[in-house]
Chain A
Amino acid sequence: MTTPATQTPSQAIEASPAQRRTPKELADVSVIVGGQGGDGTLTVVDLLGRYFRKRGLYVYTSRNTLSRIRGGHADASVRACRDPRAAIKAKADLLLAFDQEAIEVVRADLDPDALVLYDSTAFKADYPNSLGFPFATLAGSQLGQPIYKNTAAYGAIAVLMGFDDAVVRQVIEERFKRRGAEALDKNLKALEIGRQAALAVPAAVNRWSLPEGDAHTLILTTGNQAAALGFVVGGGRFFAGYPITPATEIMEYLARYLPAYHGVVRQAEDELASINMVIGAATTGARAMTSTSGPGLSLMTEGIGHAGTAELGILVADCQRVGPSTGQPTRHEQSDLAHLAHLGHGEFPKFILSPGSAEDCFYLTVDALNLAEKWRLPVILLLDQALCQNASTVPAFDLSKVKVERPSLLTAEQVATRAEYKYYAFSPNGISPFAPVGTPGVTSQITGNEHDEWGHVSVNPVNRHKMMEKRMGKLIQARDELPRPRYFGRKEARIGLIGYGSTSGPILEAMDLLDAEGITTKYLQARTLFPVQQETLGPFFDSVDLAFVAEHNYTGQFARLIREDMPQYHAKLRSILKYDGFSFRAPDIAAPIREAFHGAKR
């Protein structure tokens, strides 16, 4: 039903029988906001995320959008917790719905006690525990634009959850001040419209209360933003890319950040141009990167192989999504690893690094830049949709932990002291000192053809053999410098978990669930996926009876890589797999481990 615009707020309220109760304290709350694309669901989640962060809570947001600009179901969620959580809560406590479809889509994800708050402008919710307010009508009649319904709904949620009024307002000011005075004023008015509407209904007031958290110094960021920032402070100065979900934000952030540092960001005509522009830039000694996702990665594969054999240090961020082909552009998967580990035609060295949190995205991007330049090869920063786009609270980035190291680079002064300069000089560790094109006093020949030390094309079998050993040997020579795993859990545990990327969040939460049941586990968060880090995985396998590798793909790609290099641990390996486009929730990981644990006892 449509509520006439002339109705007053109190008349317009449709409350289903949700009686007044004492505020229920929630130490871990999850809110889903759902509607059609363009309803502003992400805005509400963003506002709530900012509020929770200011209250010292750990925040994790996620999104479920379709690959279209407007229309189609879209929802997003925000979780706030006193404990550090970087995963979607198994069941949500509140749904803000802008249409009935939103209720149907997330019905199964709602807690039995959940409340559905909805915009009654256009429909009456078919859900037992619901509260309707005509947000669009109220915003339309009082502000002239129904779109402010989302900010009004934020106001109603603030009342429901007993938010601090001053902080609620501060969040609006922060979010909209950049949009100009009018936008800010209208949003503040919309906030008040939503608040007043809710305050008029006893069932809507202070239904829940949230404790103050102690994590006030954290920042709220995404993996994409953290990687972009890491690129800047790690000395990255050249970026070329092509828009592709979920990688585009890296390009957008860098387009904002880099010009202030003599940097260049170009949107190229395709991924073939992107990777080759990056290769060209790396030839001059600039630290260069592209970011892409599955389809773009396939197109870049030839270029990455070229960088491997031409010995040019480049960085490629692969923001994995559901593949193959166009797949599901906005959905989550970790299914590019097998392709990356066996990348391209021919053989060449590369490192695949995988950050396990937004925080890790920042520091590992710096490491990746240092490694790419030092070892003169392509480094893949393996991300995934959830890591790239879900915002989480992380410690503020600390520049004292950042090091920009350039041990392979030759300055003009250093070159001048040499009798000769060979671009591909043989050396004990396979690294040839790097004098970029443009260095006074020397010229170089750089080629994807097999070449001798000077860069001359060579078909000599002795040279070919030596050059292969020089390049491929880097995979062994660099082992001690590659990022180490992070370890969590109880040292004495006999059940191990192995994961990478965004699965770290749900794995850590699953470990807490299991711990409460007396099932102790430990976790190895792999940060170097290729070359397979036998020296860290081996002792971990030796210390457990069973090791579960949790990943988002059908074939267990990381588990297969481990088996390929470490077949002796085959019998201990189990896979926990999910490939429906959505991230693990903690129970998804806890369940098979619980089963194995009790099975072993029987």
Chain B
Amino acid sequence: MVQSVKPTANTWCPGCGDFGVLAAAKKAIIDLKIPTHEVVLVGGIGCSGGIHNFIDINGVHALHGRLLAQAIGLKLANPQLTVIAAGGDGDGYAIGMGHFMHAFKKNASILYIVMNNETYGLTKGQASPTSRLGFEGNIEIPFDSILTALSIPSGAFIARTFSGDPKTMTAVLSEALQFNREHRGYAFVEDLSPCVTYNDTFKEWREKTVNIEKLPGYDPTDRSAVFRLCSETMNTGKIPIGVMHRPGKPADAASNPLELKLLPDSVGPARADIVLEHNLAAYQKLLATAA
């Protein structure tokens, strides 16, 4: 057995919500028996983005806001990898917002976990895109990722979890990873992950979260019904959590995830044979046509 990199000691504040995500992700990977060399975790910038250091798989620390682009590049270059992108709400919904929207459109089979704590913790508590009105002087409308995700007509798996409920979170992450590994498309999970130092919302969120799956009329294949349930729940001051969209099996090739559309045989750029001598005949033909 080759000795390669080992996880480092954790650097998060004791009690940080991100511990819940780390534990749930570890358990999901073990439960699904994914070999460690086949899974890669792409972390963003911010406290939560350091998660790749604390788990015994491949880790990539991306640039601020660009973790989705790197994760999709990884997946399209080697579709056999299980690719998880994980970062915070500032990383995903502020500097990375363009990629957040386009990830649904691209529909590559990767899992994106946003640890939402409604603040920029690492830079000591400024308002983030999800901060409520008044938090650190915030006068901008808080962004809601679930309503946005539901409004995009994609085949993505969409869920919101809460770090105070690790059991549900593990189940959701397992389901999302399994969804990816079956090449069924993109999975987006927002985890409500309190910052115990600058915005400790554990108690408040425990009281305010409502499992949408238990509400009358819930149907995870009906995005407009779930959108309405979420919207109505939010109007009462509560926060909806649970599986928001669970698409059925893709009905046609058009809804296939990106990696299968591009690489029907699943070989891909990383495993392509680029030895010149093995490609000579094809290259000669290409050069002849091009001239």
Interface residues of B in 246-290 (CB under 8 A from A): 262-263, 265, 267-272, 274-276, 279-280, 282-284, 286-287, 290
Residues in chain A near residue B167, CB distance under 8 A: none
Known: A235-B274, A446-B60, A457-B8. A225 touches B77 (CB 8 A): no
Stretch at the interface among B32-40, B128-136, B137-145: B32-40
Contact B269 A263 (CB under 8 A): yes
**Chain A 424-456 per-residue mask, 1 if CB under 8 angstroms from chain B, else 0:** 000000000000111111111111110000111
Q: B63 contacts the other chain (Cβ, under 8 Å)?
A: yes
A275 to B65 CA separation, bound complex (whole angstroms): 13
Stretch at the interface among B51-59, B195-203, B235-243: B51-59
A264 to B272 CA separation, bound complex (whole angstroms): 11
Contact A262 B268 (CB under 8 A): yes
Stretch at the interface among A265-273, A537-545, A555-563: A265-273
Q: A421 contacts the other chain (Cβ, under 8 Å)?
A: yes
A285 to B80 CA separation, bound complex (whole angstroms): 13
For residue A306, which residue of chain B has the nearest CB? Answer: B63
**Chain A 407-424 per-residue mask, 1 if CB under 8 angstroms from chain B, else 0:** 000000001101111110
* The residue from B59, B78, B283 contacting A232, defined by CB atoms under 8 A apart: B283
Residues in chain B near residue A288, CB distance under 8 A: 73, 77, 269
Contact B81 A437 (CB under 8 A): yes
Contact B274 A273 (CB under 8 A): no
For residue B73, which residue of chain A has the nearest CB? Answer: A280
Q: A310 CB to closest chain B CB, in angstroms?
A: 8
Known: A221-B291, A233-B283, A420-B2. A287 touches B274 (CB 8 A): yes
A280 to B62 CA separation, bound complex (whole angstroms): 9
Residues in chain A near residue B271, CB distance under 8 A: 262
Residues in chain A near residue B60, CB distance under 8 A: 280, 283, 437, 445-447
Q: B169 contacts the other chain (Cβ, under 8 Å)?
A: no
Known: A238-B76, A419-B3. A443 touches B57 (CB 8 A): yes
For residue B55, which residue of chain A has the nearest CB? Answer: A443
For residue B106, which residue of chain A has the nearest CB? Answer: A266
A220 to B275 CA separation, bound complex (whole angstroms): 27
Q: B71 contacts the other chain (Cβ, under 8 Å)?
A: yes
Contact B276 A262 (CB under 8 A): no
Q: A229 contacts the other chain (Cβ, under 8 Å)?
A: yes
Q: B69 contacts the other chain (Cβ, under 8 Å)?
A: yes
Residues in chain B near residue A282, CB distance under 8 A: 73, 77
* The residue from A238, A278, A286, A439 contacting B37, defined by CB atoms under 8 A apart: A439
The number of chain B residues with a CB under 8 A from chain A is 62
Q: A582 contacts the other chain (Cβ, under 8 Å)?
A: no
Contact A276 B62 (CB under 8 A): yes
Contact B76 A266 (CB under 8 A): yes
Q: B66 contacts the other chain (Cβ, under 8 Å)?
A: yes
Contact A403 B276 (CB under 8 A): yes
For residue B38, which residue of chain A has the nearest CB? Answer: A438
Residues in chain A near residue B275, CB distance under 8 A: 404
For residue B66, which residue of chain A has the nearest CB? Answer: A276
For residue A263, which residue of chain B has the nearest CB? Answer: B269
Indicate the size class of the contact surface on chain A.
35 or more
Contact B4 A264 (CB under 8 A): no
Residues in chain A near residue B283, CB distance under 8 A: 232-233, 399
* The residue from B8, B36, B287 contacting A397, defined by CB atoms under 8 A apart: B287
Contact A438 B69 (CB under 8 A): no
A284 to B39 CA separation, bound complex (whole angstroms): 12
Contact A446 B61 (CB under 8 A): yes
A257 to B65 CA separation, bound complex (whole angstroms): 31
Contact B5 A260 (CB under 8 A): no
Q: A15 contacts the other chain (Cβ, under 8 Å)?
A: no
Q: B27 contacts the other chain (Cβ, under 8 Å)?
A: no
Contact A262 B269 (CB under 8 A): yes
Interface residues of A in 475-504 (CB under 8 A from B): none
Contact B99 A269 (CB under 8 A): yes
Q: A412 CB to closest chain B CB, in angstroms?
A: 9
Q: Which of B52, B56, B73, B75 has the most chain A CB atoms inside 10 A of its CB? A: B73
Contact A281 B58 (CB under 8 A): no
Contact B52 A445 (CB under 8 A): yes
Residues in chain B near residue A421, CB distance under 8 A: 2-4
* The residue from B61, B65, B74, B263 contacting A262, defined by CB atoms under 8 A apart: B263
Contact B5 A445 (CB under 8 A): yes
Residues in chain A near residue B272, CB distance under 8 A: 237, 261-263, 286
A438 to B60 CA separation, bound complex (whole angstroms): 13
Contact A280 B2 (CB under 8 A): no
* The residue from B37, B57, B265, B276 contacting A441, defined by CB atoms under 8 A apart: B37
Residues in chain B near residue A233, CB distance under 8 A: 276, 279, 283, 286-287
Q: B53 CB to closest chain A CB, in angstroms?
A: 7
Q: A201 contacts the other chain (Cβ, under 8 Å)?
A: no
Known: A284-B270, A399-B280, A436-B270. A444 touches B66 (CB 8 A): no
Contact B2 A419 (CB under 8 A): yes
Contact A229 B74 (CB under 8 A): no
Residues in chain B near residue A260, CB distance under 8 A: 282, 286
For residue A442, which residue of chain B has the nearest CB? Answer: B4
Interface residues of A in 233-271 (CB under 8 A from B): 233, 235, 237-238, 240, 257, 259-264, 266, 268-270
Interface residues of B in 70-88 (CB under 8 A from A): 70-78, 80-81
For residue A287, which residue of chain B has the nearest CB? Answer: B274
Q: A200 contacts the other chain (Cβ, under 8 Å)?
A: no
Q: A351 CB to closest chain B CB, in angstroms?
A: 21
Contact A456 B8 (CB under 8 A): yes
Q: A302 contacts the other chain (Cβ, under 8 Å)?
A: yes
Contact B73 A420 (CB under 8 A): no
A222 to B50 CA separation, bound complex (whole angstroms): 45
Q: A219 contacts the other chain (Cβ, under 8 Å)?
A: yes
A590 to B176 CA separation, bound complex (whole angstroms): 67
Q: Which of B50, B63, B77, B286 has the most chain A CB atoms inside 10 A of its CB? A: B77
For residue A240, which residue of chain B has the nearest CB? Answer: B73
Q: B256 CB to closest chain A CB, in angstroms?
A: 15
Q: A322 contacts the other chain (Cβ, under 8 Å)?
A: no
A227 to B282 CA separation, bound complex (whole angstroms): 18
Q: B206 contacts the other chain (Cβ, under 8 Å)?
A: no
A74 to B146 CA separation, bound complex (whole angstroms): 49
Contact B4 A444 (CB under 8 A): yes
Residues in chain A near residue B70, CB distance under 8 A: 276-277, 279-280, 283
Contact A396 B269 (CB under 8 A): no
Residues in chain A near residue B69, CB distance under 8 A: 268, 272-277, 280
Q: Could you show 11 A-B contacts with beta carbons less than 8 Å apart? A: A238-B269, A262-B272, A268-B69, A283-B40, A284-B77, A284-B78, A285-B77, A399-B276, A438-B58, A438-B81, A443-B59
Q: A280-B42, A404-B275, A436-B270 are in contact. List 9 more A-B contacts (CB 8 A).
A: A238-B73, A240-B73, A261-B272, A269-B102, A273-B69, A280-B71, A286-B77, A288-B77, A457-B8
Q: Which 8 A-B pairs have the closest CB atoms?
A: A280-B73, A235-B274, A276-B69, A237-B269, A277-B73, A286-B269, A281-B77, A447-B61
